[in-house]
Structure 1
């Protein structure tokens, strides 16, 4: 029989392995701003953080996935089961869920960590055993029902599980929060997937339809070898690729990219344009100031840019840079930021001018 290892409920959030302290600091910041007496529990490399000390409903409603930067996925934490008998893991799960609602779907998964990934096969087979047992007890609907919460069973080891739930309007639509994008062989660089993911994850379907249209004008600062320019051209935008370095022939072959040999920190458009993107390797505060200058001067209406983060105190640096950008951009803007799956030591920011 599994023993609950927690005396309380909370939140469970996935992140990139190695960024657990940053997600813990971010979650604690939001909870502290709400006056919630919570604490974060995690281990470096585990790819998840638990925020404990307040009811899961309160935390789930107060801290939404869309406002988090370092979280890939976010659930309401129901329970933790340890020291499970591998001959019967189903019964402890059934017992732990008793009286805690009914679910419209089941996902059995693992965090994206070196320790948990090998458990993916076990998770799949356990799901096949657990699903009918839940239905027999009336804890799971016979057919998927998006109106009800989704149940998540997370394997940390073959004897250690977390139980959590999520709602359709407050979770990533991709399993574990990871969109599985396929690299296009025509792309000049792997970094093209970062911009593809940013457009997919940081913009709503309506925004993608209204803000990205054939014939729009864009600038790519620090463009070489042209991965981000290529993504814009793929969407039929006309691109000024700003870089003193060489551009890939595959990018220039689109016919929509003009290579301008100039420094991305000094070049500016002759007239306002629709888009500016930037993936330059520079200190995050310098990039944030330059991006703010573009909006303050009305040079662009929309932007996607990366902030390369330091090795330590990445949440603190992120908060400082986003505050710096907002204070200097000189106009009302919509800002969304996320550490994407294809990012490394960086976050990606989407900005839309509201006026």
Structure 2
């Protein structure tokens, strides 16, 4: 019989990064002294399940480690243990579990792992959407005002589903935790979506007018052929594009780009800039060294940069880099907000955002 207490913490991730997410939440849970352990992290499954000890609700660790504080998680849910279903009646067990739990919700999302096997379940999930919604309304599990809570049905197979719940302010507002963006036809490379997603992730939409506006000055280190420069130009910024390689002619024709064939690790700006962005392929700590220099000298107000990760012990490398950056800035008396996420458009890398405090 399924435990009627939501004693699991369900996290989505990119397929193949389950060991990294496992290492991250295991270390972070230990720091919080939260009793529990990872009970499922199958290779290339696209999710990790953490279960609390003694069947206590997982709300504590869910609140203690908010989604935006995690690197490798795309979505964070308080969940019940997976539910086995009969193919003759997939709805009644779900409705019964929700009713017995005493929870109610304002909306329902049907989701699947971001894998080929998971995507094959999307048609089944869609066919069950309306019948389940009607049944939950009749049983009181779905109502207009329920504190913004959302019910997530995470389909593991045609006869297995994990029921989770999310809360406003501590969840991704995108199905599957994936922000899908359209690739601009005139962008020089697909890497352009990395920077666009980073802005959506790290800069609140209401702050775009004050922090991403026309007339700002930016630098793109390792710019060629101009995927990230494209985003800066599109926002109306003037850009120093630093790279020995060629830039896309269309970008140069805008008059907003000054291309300097120099080494991005040693180039210095003529004056303080608003933004530093960098997608250079190099050792993560070398990138940290460079970014620290920029921030200590206050050559920029905000920075977004990628760290290319090794195939093994990716969490350990991320932790090492972020700790070094935080310790160095603190030693220099520099206060800054630092965030790091493994974005949908990232591959073997993570994206870091740093904003100096006290900036407009």
**Distance (whole Å) between structure 1 residues aligned to residue 6 and residue 344 of structure 2:** 30
Which residue matches 1:52?
Answer: 51
SS in 1 for 2:281: coil
**Distance (whole Å) between structure 1 residues aligned to residue 253 and residue 51 of structure 2:** 53
Query: 1:70: Cα distance to partner?
Result: 0.6
CA contact (8 A) 2:4 2:100 kept: no
Which residue matches 1:10?
Answer: 8
Query: 1:5: Cα distance to partner?
Result: 8.0
| Cα separation, partners in 2 of 1:326 and 1:176, compared to 1, 3 Å | same
**Distance (whole Å) between structure 2 residues aligned to residue 71 and residue 168 of structure 1:** 17
Q: State how 1:146-165 maps to structure 2 within 5 Å.
A: 147-165=147-165
CA contact (8 A) 1:289 1:328 kept: no
CA contact (8 A) 1:12 1:51 kept: yes
The TM-score, its normalising length taken from structure 2, stands at 0.94
Which residue matches 1:79?
Answer: 81
**Distance (whole Å) between structure 2 residues aligned to residue 164 and residue 78 of structure 1:** 6
The TM-score, its normalising length taken from structure 1, stands at 0.95
**Distance (whole Å) between structure 2 residues aligned to residue 276 and residue 307 of structure 1:** 14
RMSD: 1.5
Which residue matches 2:357?
Answer: 354
CA contact (8 A) 1:6 1:80 kept: no
| Cα separation, partners in 2 of 1:49 and 1:266, compared to 1, 3 Å | same
Q: 2:37 matched to 1:39?
A: yes
Which segments of 5 or more consecutive residues in structure 1 lack a partner in the other structure? none
Instruction: Work out which of the residue numbers 92, 115, 118 in structure 2 matches 1:116.
Output: 118
**Distance (whole Å) between structure 2 residues aligned to residue 6 and residue 29 of structure 1:** 28
Q: 2:97 matched to 1:96?
A: yes
CA contact (8 A) 2:187 2:230 kept: yes
Q: State how 1:262-341 maps to structure 2 within 5 Å.
A: 262-329=262-329, 330=332, 331-341=334-344
More divergent stretch after superposition (322-331 vs 11-20): 322-331
**Distance (whole Å) between structure 1 residues aligned to residue 18 and residue 254 of structure 2:** 41
Query: 1:58: Cα distance to partner?
Result: 1.3
Which runs of structure 1 show a deviation greater than 6 angstroms over 4 or more consecutive aligned residues?
5-8
Give CA-to-partner distance per residue, 1:75-109, whole Å, 9 cap, x none.
11123112x21010111112222232111111111
Query: 1:114: Cα distance to partner?
Result: 2.3
Query: 1:191: Cα distance to partner?
Result: 0.5
SS in 2 for 1:189: coil
Instruction: Work out which of the residue numbers 129, 132, 139 in structure 1 matches 2:131.
Output: 129
Instruction: Work out which of the residue numbers 340, 345, 358 in structure 2 matches 1:342.
Output: 345
**Distance (whole Å) between structure 1 residues aligned to residue 254 and residue 178 of structure 2:** 29
Which residue matches 1:26?
Answer: 24
SS in 1 for 2:316: helix
Q: State how 1:98-247 maps to structure 2 within 5 Å.
A: 98-100=99-101, 101-141=103-143, 143=144, 145=145, 147-247=147-247
| Cα separation, partners in 2 of 1:146 and 1:346, compared to 1, 3 Å | farther
CA contact (8 A) 2:83 2:161 kept: yes
